[in-house]
Amino acid sequence: MSKKLIIYTAFFVLLSGSFMAYYAFMIKESRGSWTGKEKLPVLGAPGHTVQGFSFTDQDSNQVTQDNVKGKIYVAEYFFTTCTNICPVMNKNMEKVYAKYKDKPNFLILSHTSDPDYDSVRVLKAYAEQHGADPKNWHFLTGDKRQLYKLARESYLVDDGTFTGEDDFIHTQWFALVDGEGRIRGLYEGTKVKDVDKLIADIDRLMQE
């Protein structure tokens, strides 16, 4: 093989390698992995993130946006006297909790829809029924208007508007939130298939 042919061959090998590396890099940037797996979508209008909040958990601790900063978490709405969808939702949430309870960058925020009844004492008893450790599964109560505002304007789990003290949220949706406060998925908490997808998506989000 001539010296010129060797040079040309080496050049084309290097050129091909450069194109392959660039293509792999573009896949990584757009899809989140070298293998081309799609990143989870970001829901809501461009730039949408969860707004600031401050609620009280089952141990009387204040939980704010500072507690979730940089962490992946699942948000839901329920009430302790519910005998319809809420027991199913929180039984399914136990499955999520069991898998990630030892992950320091993961939380669950369960907001009451009925703060007038669901006091700290009531939430404490309810949390214990579900084996929830308050360090990473918070059952939250607070101002009703602020709770509902967060559900509708931040977590996107209800499409209504606040209509006063008789207003009530009863939603089956779980919201998956990333460390930047962006909504990355909505899942029906009453459906095993959706909860399994939530778990798979948490795994994917942890790899981003």
The pTM assigned to this predicted structure is 0.82
Least confident of 1-10, 72-81, 83-92, 124-133: 1-10
Q: What are the tens digits of pLDDT across the range 60-116?
A: 999 999 999 999 999 999 999 999 999 999 999 999 999 999 999 999 999 999 999
Q: Are 105 and 179 in contact (CB under 8 A)?
A: yes
* Cα angle, residue 154 at apex, residues 153 and 155 outer, rounded to 5°: 110
| H or E segment and range at residue 129 | helix 120-129
pLDDT of residue 65: 96
How many CB atoms are closer than 10 A to CB 6? 10
Q: Note the Cα 206 to chain centre separation in Å.
A: 11
Q: What amino acid occupies position 178?
A: D
User: Could you tell me the pLDDT band of residue 36, with boundaries at 50, 70 and 90?
Assistant: low
Q: Are 115 and 143 in contact (CB under 8 A)?
A: yes
| pLDDT surpasses 50 at 27 | no
User: Measured between alpha carbons, how far is 184 from 156 in angstroms, rounded to an integer?
Assistant: 11
- The DSSP bridge partners found for residue 175 are 75, 186
Name which of 138, 141, 105 is nearest 120 in CA terms. 141
pLDDT of residue 8: 44
